[in-house]
């Protein structure tokens, strides 16, 4: 410490000598550590501090019960008679969010603003007699409520005749230009990665392959254009040329921890996305019973924001233009829990004593001063930097939050936290080990079990480690066990996880109307495995290395069948995941009626249960055909349910 202080005084004096007339405050300041590695832009710093915001999927799919429209849907369907953008924005804001991103155009190519780029737009709808503009209403409501507004503009366009050819680029660039010119500040623009495949394409109804997306869309040009129009706008995606990227799952968690905001020589931040409702990104009839519980939302938050990524949480308006009440209820409870979690930091103003300090301005007390800009750094030659934190009175907590001063780069590779319990140090966050990582398994709900008791790896903008059992103490010790350069830690907080409101529990999927498979027999391909699709166990499945193929069910009695549910394979693989289907019914097992056929969109990124309703009809037999599959000629079904009575 002595030599450190001496060095600091020398620095200050030499600064005075060099600057001559330097103002007196410089004497009380010291030079911070030098920046390390790629640095975030000011926009990226601000964006990371937003933490979470809303996604809003709302368009023609809202009216067709689909996730991916084909491109031939009639704009005549769009008529949200009770749409009130302000009410939606206020709901988000009350929950503690600070921005929203709206799907101005999804893959079906329908533009929800009066664009000059295509006829397939809002002016052709009955809503407000063709004079409406959803983008305008959201943008204005956001501006009025001091809420950030962003936009999603799907690069893939299944409506445009020119898609896949050079002609589409003029259309697409025009759309970007309109959205970034006419609607005020856009905090983030989202370039989805889904691209190419079959579609309407102006009537061609064919498959189109664009090859390399980065080449086809010319993202280098797109990025340049956006920087010119709105330099503060965060660009998401764009083949890695933007400012932020996908955290690797549509379940809302960062797939892997440690999480480095660095790709090559560039700072690139992460965003995890998920819909609040298990049914998907767009609103679907009867989705109320499929909302994620507030407890699950908290686990999602802890494994996205808690790992250093941002979280974008989708709430979809229904056909009237209103948010689903069940979604809103879950959001409100989770929002309240999050506020309570962050409201009380037991380490605030606690005494902090470090093994060393880099300089006077980077003393240990900066960790507990509630100032995100100030930070503690140890001396350069301190290879085992620790800080002891002493609270005024013992506190009980189960979440530890740390933040790095990311303006100087991301540095910390691993850390450890010990608590003084019963007269000895007890490790409550073990340090992450070199070459290891915490990867959440990409399996349905299973991954939620893996959220607590993680190790200490990267910190970045922030990291939260959630302990499965609370700790009570008045003394803690933080050790930075590995760091790429002198650590710069801005905050150390001790938080306590609130319990969910009991009234919100039990929102799990209602099983109303599901026919019980007792005594049923199966036929068709791989008939001996068909029962595995009806055993309520997503780990076992009906599968066959063949597509198209099908299985047949004899329910032994006639029922009125009103629909079915299909759960794609949940083992993290996509080979043979059924992506197109046909569902047939029969009363005698000989004459079959096609009750439904179509596409299951977006399974690759979000393999959630797909529920299809049919016109209720009498049937003793059903056949489920897998007519197309992802990644290879195979078919599979993890779980299947038949609805009826
Ligand atoms: C995906 C899309 O394909 C989904 O439909 C949704 O928009 C999601 C946010 O991104 O990749």
Residue 16 φ then ψ, to 5°: -60, -45
HSE (side-chain half, CA atoms, 13 Å) at 34: 5
Does 353 have pLDDT greater than 60? Answer: yes
Q: What mean pLDDT, rounded, does the chain reach?
A: 92
The predicted model gives 137-162 an average pLDDT of 98
309 C-alpha vs ligand 1 centroid, how far in Å? 18
Q: DSSP 3-state assignment of 414? A: strand
pLDDT of residue 360: 87
Query: Could you tell me the two tokens for 609?
Result: 């249960």
Can you tell me the distance from the alpha carbon of 553 to that of 561, in angstroms, rounded to the nearest whole number?
Answer: 13
pLDDT of residue 640: 97
495 C-alpha vs ligand 1 centroid, how far in Å? 34
pLDDT of residue 30: 80
Residue pair 638/600 in contact by the 8 Å Cβ criterion: no
5 or 134: which leads in pLDDT: 134
Test site for ligand 1: of 245, 251, 605, 608, most ligand atoms within 8 A of the Cβ? 605
Total-model pTM? 0.88
Nearest to 30 by CA among 348, 380, 313: 380
Residue pair 599/68 in contact by the 8 Å Cβ criterion: yes
147 C-alpha vs ligand 1 centroid, how far in Å? 23
Q: DSSP 3-state assignment of 350? A: coil
- Cβ(604) – ligand 1 distance below 6 Å: no
198: DSSP letter: E
450 confidence band (pLDDT: 50, 70, 90) = confident
Does the bond joining 442 to the residue before it have cis omega, within 30 degrees of 0? no
CA distances from 333 to 57, 401, 415, 636 (A): 22, 22, 32, 37
- Segments of 355-452 assigned E as strands: 386-404, 412-421, 424-429, 438-439
Question: Position of tokens 């660039």?
Answer: 173
Does 75 have pLDDT greater than 70? Answer: yes
pLDDT digits (tens, 9 = 90+) for 496-507: 999 875 444 433
Q: What is the largest CA-CA distance in the chain?
A: 99
pLDDT digits (tens, 9 = 90+) for 304-334: 999 999 999 999 999 999 999 999 999 999 9
pLDDT of residue 443: 65
192 C-alpha vs ligand 1 centroid, how far in Å? 7
- Cβ(194) – ligand 1 distance below 6 Å: yes
Q: Please return the burial class of 613, using the count of CB atoms within 10 Å of its CB with bins 0-12, 13-18 and 19+.
A: middle
Atom of ligand 1 nearest to the CA of 282: 5
- Which protein residue's CA is at the shortest distance from atom 6 of ligand 1? 281
pLDDT of residue 194: 77
Give the DSSP H or E segment for 235: strand 234-237
Q: Please return the burial class of 640, using the count of CB atoms within 10 Å of its CB with bins 0-12, 13-18 and 19+.
A: buried
- Cβ(605) – ligand 1 distance below 6 Å: yes
191 C-alpha vs ligand 1 centroid, how far in Å? 10
Residue 466 φ then ψ, to 5°: -110, 120
Question: Quick one: what percent of the chain has pLDDT higher than 70?
Answer: 93
Strand bridging mode 463-483 / 412-421: antiparallel
Does 9 have pLDDT greater than 90? Answer: no
pLDDT of residue 504: 43
């Amino acid at each position: 410490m002595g030599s450190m202080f001496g060095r600091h005084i020398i620095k200050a004096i030499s600064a005075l000598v060099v600057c001559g007339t330097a103002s007196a405050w410089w004497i009380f300041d010291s030079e911070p550590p030098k920046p390390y590695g790629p640095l975030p832009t000011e926009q990226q710093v601000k964006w990371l501090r937003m933490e979470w915001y809303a996604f809003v999927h709302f368009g023609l799919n809202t009216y067709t019960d689909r996730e991916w429209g084909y491109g031939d849907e009639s704009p005549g369907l769009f008529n949200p008679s009770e749409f009130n953008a302000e009410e939606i924005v206020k709901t988000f804001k009350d929950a503690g969010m600070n921005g929203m991103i709206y799907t101005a155009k999804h893959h079906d190519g329908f533009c929800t603003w009066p664009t000059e780029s295509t006829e397939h737009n809002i002016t052709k709808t009955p809503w407000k007699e063709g004079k409406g503009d959803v983008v305008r209403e959201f943008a204005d409501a956001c501006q009025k409520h001091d809420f950030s507004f962003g936009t999603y503009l799907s690069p893939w366009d299944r409506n445009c005749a020119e898609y896949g050819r050079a002609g589409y680029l003029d259309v697409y660039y025009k759309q970007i230009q309109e959205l970034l010119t006419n609607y005020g500040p856009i905090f983030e623009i989202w370039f989805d990665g889904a691209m190419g495949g079959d579609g309407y394409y102006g009537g061609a109804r064919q498959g189109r392959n664009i090859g390399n997306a980065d080449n086809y869309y010319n993202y280098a040009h797109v990025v340049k254009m956006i920087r010119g129009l709105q330099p503060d706008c965060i660009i998401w995606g764009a083949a890695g040329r933007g400012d932020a990227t996908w955290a690797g799952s549509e379940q809302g968690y960062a797939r892997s921890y440690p999480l480095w905001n660095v790709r090559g020589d560039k700072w690139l931040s992460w965003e995890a996305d998920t819909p609040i409702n298990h049914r998907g990104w767009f609103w679907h009839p009867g989705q109320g019973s499929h909302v994620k519980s507030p407890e699950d939302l908290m686990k999602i938050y802890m494994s996205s924001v808690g790992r250093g990524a941002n979280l974008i949480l989708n709430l979809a308006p229904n056909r009237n233009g209103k948010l689903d009440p069940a979604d809103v209820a879950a959001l409100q409870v989770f929002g309240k829990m999050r506020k309570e979690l962050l409201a009380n930091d037991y380490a605030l103003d606690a005494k902090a004593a470090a093994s060393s300090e880099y300089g006077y301005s980077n003393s240990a007390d900066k960790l507990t001063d509630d100032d995100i800009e100030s930070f503690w750094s140890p001396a350069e030659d301190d290879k085992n930097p620790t800080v002891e934190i002493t609270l005024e009175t013992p506190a009980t907590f189960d979440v530890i939050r740390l933040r790095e001063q990311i303006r100087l780069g991301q540095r910390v590779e691993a850390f450890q936290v010990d608590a003084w319990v019963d007269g000895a140090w007890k490790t409550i966050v073990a340090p992450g080990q070199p070459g290891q990582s915490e990867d959440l398994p990409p399996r349905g709900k299973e991954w939620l079990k893996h959220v607590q008791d993680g190790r200490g790896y990267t910190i970045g903008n922030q990291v939260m480690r959630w302990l499965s059992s609370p700790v009570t103490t008045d003394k803690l010790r933080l050790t930075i066990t590995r760091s790429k350069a002198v650590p710069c830690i801005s905050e150390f907080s001790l938080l306590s996880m609130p319990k969910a409101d009991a009234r919100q529990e039990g929102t799990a999927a209602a099983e109303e109307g599901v026919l019980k498979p007792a005594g049923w027999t199966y036929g068709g391909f791989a008939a001996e495995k068909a029962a595995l699709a009806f055993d309520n166990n997503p780990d076992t499945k009906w599968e066959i290395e063949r597509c198209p193929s099908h299985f047949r069910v004899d329910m032994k009695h006639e029922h009125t069948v009103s629909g079915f549910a299909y759960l794609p394979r949940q083992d993290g693989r996509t080979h043979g995941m059924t992506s197109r289907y046909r569902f047939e019914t029969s009363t005698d097992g000989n004459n079959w009626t096609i009750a439904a056929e179509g596409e299951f969109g977006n399974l690759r990124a979000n393999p959630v249960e797909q529920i299809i309703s049919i016109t209720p009809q009498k049937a003793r037999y059903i056949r489920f055909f897998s007519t197309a599959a992802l990644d290879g000629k195979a078919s599979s079904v993890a779980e299947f349910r038949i609805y009826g009575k």
